[in-house]
Amino acid sequence: MTLILVRKLLRDARPALVAVCVILFLFAALWVKITQRVTAEITPFFNVVAKAARLDPKLFEQVLFRGPGKVSQAVLGGADLQFEKPNDFLAVALLHPVVLTLACVWAVGRAAGAVAGELDRGTMELLLSQPIPRNRLILAHFLVDCVVIPALCLSFWAGTEFGLWAVGPFEIDYTTVREVMSRDLPPVAVASLHIPTEPTVMEVSGRAEFPALANLAALMFALSGLTLALSACGRSRWKVVGLGVLLAVVMFVANVLGQLWDSAGFVRPLTVFYYYQPQKIALRGEWVADLGAVWGGTRLAVPVVGVLLAVGAAGYLVALRVFTRRDLPAPL
């Protein structure tokens, strides 16, 4: 009977699942083209200009992320990323607001309808009139999460691989740079810049992104578990959606403010977004977060994926306990 319920839930979620998978696929493919444009065309040009003016190549990045731009830098992974490297820029995609928004909306929206949605529609009585224990309903939603969350993550990775295949190699062609510099500088000055005459092929791969998707999946599971706990306590789907979105936004803002303002950094480990660090997994293979760096004291490394999975599991356990013990209200 549990498998029948799982198939029913998957059938209900199929239209939204397909839509979100397609959006993630297309965005990942588009981000590959953006990465090629920035790293193979824009960044080399600015590097040559900085060299001609005897400036630090990082000056443009410092100007871009100065003042209000620090917010964007914090959202996109901090100062550790080197935007002239294709693999670093590809890793930014997992931190992009589009991906985070879709992940949060999916996790909150689906989990909110698990219990509160059924009560709101008046279908919970019909569902429980079947020989299904209440704990099987929570188990069915857990199994659905185990299917749909990996599907969403794999669609993003497939989009990256498709984009890399479609755009071809990342080649830096310095022809345009030499032409622009030749207009304003004498030939001797252009020659002193040592601008390469042959195209340079940059190394880029989407393989490093694949293990980082585990962090994305764990974040979605954590948000789903927290929202399911709220859903098990409520009876109105939209109220639960509102509370779930509010919780996610508060945690996201708290994490960003903690990055920008050292005095507020202590709140970051209390949010699920602090443990969402896919760029470190993809680029350096770091699967842990150091709580000691935020709270002070000795190093205290915790696994980022493990913490998020534990938060999601705790939410499911709370939902299981509440739902199996509460009195269900009559449909309105």
Alpha-carbon gap, residue 187 to 286, rounded angstroms: 47
| Residue 54, pLDDT score | 61
**What Rg value do the Cα atoms of the chain yield, rounded?**
24
| Residue 69, pLDDT score | 44
Q: Are 251 and 107 in contact (CB under 8 A)?
A: no
- CB burial of 2-20 (b: ≥16 within 10 Å; e: otherwise) equals eeebbeebeeebeeebeeb
Alpha-carbon gap, residue 174 to 190, rounded angstroms: 12
Of the candidates 230, 275, 254, 282, the residue with the CA atom closest to the CA atom of residue 117: 230
| Residue 50, pLDDT score | 61
User: Which DSSP symbol is given to 86?
Assistant: H
Residue 21 neighbours by CB under 8 Å, 6+ apart: 151, 152, 155
| Residue 155, pLDDT score | 97
Of the candidates 282, 153, 95, the residue with the CA atom closest to the CA atom of residue 206: 282
Alpha-carbon gap, residue 146 to 123, rounded angstroms: 24
pLDDT tens over the chain, length 332 residues: 688 889 989 999 999 999 999 999 999 999 999 998 888 777 766 666 666 556 555 655 555 545 444 445 555 555 556 667 888 888 889 999 999 999 999 999 999 998 888 888 877 777 777 777 888 999 999 999 999 999 999 999 999 999 999 998 888 776 666 666 666 666 666 666 666 666 777 888 888 899 999 999 999 999 999 999 999 998 888 999 999 999 999 999 999 888 878 788 889 999 999 999 998 898 888 999 988 888 877 788 999 999 999 999 999 999 999 998 887 776 65
Domain boundaries, the chain: 2-325
Alpha-carbon gap, residue 27 to 57, rounded angstroms: 29
CA distances 244 to 7, 130, 198, 247, 250, Å, are: 25, 29, 54, 5, 10
Stated pTM of the model: 0.86
